[in-house]
Amino acid sequence: MAAQNKFKLALSSPSGPPLTICWLSLACDTAAELLAQAGFAACLVDAEHAPNDLDLIRRQIMAIELSGQSSVIARTPINEPWVIKRLMDAGAQTILVPMVDTAEQAAAAAAALRFPPEGTRGVAGASRAAGFGGYRKGYLTTANAEACCIVQIESTTGVANIEAIAAVPGVDALFIGPSDLAASLGHLGNPNAPEVLEVLESAVQRIVAAGKPCGIFAFEPERARRFIELGARFVAVGSDVSLLVAGAKALVAEFAPKPPT
């Protein structure tokens, strides 16, 4: 049997507490293991903007699973079936697909996570996900139910198509990427611009109104709380990089020479 996808189960419970996500960009299984034990609902292994290859991703998936506390999300570098297939075979059950602009692109992503007849995922009965062919009987017939497809909305085109994307069968949640959306709106490097914030808040509300769980980046606590108030179900509240930088800077500042009084 496929392992129960606890993150997907939590997403289906709208009355539950908001789900916190830690973004992993260091391509380090030790960092993944450390942060997974902190108690985040999920740790996301990023293959789009982090120097991850498939083996590094597999090792991080294993480290997160061993924590027994955090679920695994893997972000693909691109919306391509062969990439999604390899991440699924490595053991990821929840996949975040970036740069989804249309219902057609969302449908292709959702299909790539699932075996026929529901999808187009290729069958590998001896993969890690399938228990190497001998340790997880019934995986092939139960994997589709545990697969969770999250599509990332990060352009003005994607925002315009929110309702159509949310209506795609097999799309389990929508996730908003503020940085790329800000660039798409003409505010490169400034996701806190008033115009951008207005679009972000509207997008969250539209996704919730469409009946799908909404996720978003929000490393500033007050911003995260605002999106949660608007109905965001899961929020990326920090990353291995941001936590390491903040801790290092705070420690250096603590021992920096103080100006004379």
CA separation, residue 249 to residues 26, 164, 244, 246, 252 (Å): 18, 44, 9, 5, 5
Q: Is 187 a catalytic residue?
A: no
Active-site residue among 49, 137, 157, 248?
49
Return d(Cα 98, Cα 80) in angstroms, integer. Answer: 10
Return d(Cα 156, Cα 6) in angstroms, integer. Answer: 32
Burial of 118 (0-12, 13-18, 19+ CB in 10 A): middle
Is residue 102 within 8 A of residue 73, CB to CB? The reply is no
Please report where in the chains the tokens 């997907």 appear, as a residue.
8
Rounded to 5 degrees, φ, ψ at 192 are -95, 5
- The residues carrying an active-site annotation are 49
